[in-house]
Amino acid sequence: MKKLVIIPFIFLLTLLLGACGSSKSSSEEKSTLDKIKDKGELVIATSGDYRPFTYLGDDNKLTGYDIEWAKAIAKQMGVKPVFETGDFSGLIPGLNQGRFDMVMSSIHVTEERKKSLDFSDPYALDGAVAVVRKDSLEIADPTEIKGLKVGVNAGSNWETIVRDIGGFKELKTYPGPTESIADLINERIDTVVLGQASAAAYIKNAPDGNQIEISGKPLDGGEESHIVIALRKGDAELQEAVNKAIAELKEDGTYDELAMKYFGITFE
């Protein structure tokens, strides 16, 4: 008689434990995209200090090319954008710790970043360009720097590119484009090599931008010239949803509209 009571009890206990385990497993397997939809919020990390991509406007509110793109992507996904700002160096570690859903802060694809991140399709292009004084030189692209005095941002991708090209008369490094372009205007160097987006933004927005121009075409740096959204490795559903939104925003003209607004150009 005791056996008859014990056996159904054990069977019932097994079913209950199995149900609990199944429920726990189902919760654990919920994707980042599902969690975003459940919350109705897309959490985007950005530095907030890099014009024209991400910065505080005159009203002290976050704005910029990346910020407008983030808002548009969130709208396409049917959720609310929530922004978290911090030092650039902490954004990707924070993403991988699960504090954010994505990072938008003028992120470039690199071989090192590929090891720990996935990326969206590009929403801007930043191939290397040669910036010159107006009516001074005609350079087809940054490979034509033989015999020239060239300026670059110290430690940048552009410095690596110029060193790899070689043949320059002199290579001078600077903290940023403000300093290098000042030397260019004052004829201390012949050209500055930097990213297309950064160069176009400087020409459009800086007080001395009307004294310089981009000469020739951007150097095709492949995917390393792409500006993308950083995602956690393996967030395939979110990646697909973001890429779908980017494609729709390119198709409806938002891509060209924002590029003209912030850079005064459209990306080829």
pLDDT band at 18 (very low <50, low <70, confident <90, very high): low
Residue type, 118: D
Average pLDDT over every residue of 14-29: 51
3-state SS string for 43-98: EEEECCCECCCEEECCCCCEECHHHHHHHHHHHHHCCEEEEEECCHHHHHHHHHCC
Q: 145-163: per-residue pLDDT in tens?
A: 999 999 999 888 789 899 9
Q: What is the pLDDT of residue 144?
A: 95
CA dist., res. 100 & res. 63, Å (int) = 19
Percent of the chain with pLDDT over 70: 89
Statement: residue 6 has pLDDT above 90 = no
Q: 199-235: per-residue pLDDT in tens?
A: 999 999 899 999 999 999 999 878 888 999 999 999 9
User: What is the pTM (predicted TM-score) of this model?
Assistant: 0.79
Q: What is the pLDDT of residue 220?
A: 80
Which of 27-31, 77-81, 179-183, 200-204 is predicted least confidently? 27-31
Q: Hey, what domains does the chain have and what are their CATH numbers?
A: 32-125+226-263 (3.40.190.10), 128-219 (3.40.190.10)
Q: What is the pLDDT of residue 13?
A: 46
Q: What is the pLDDT of residue 176?
A: 84
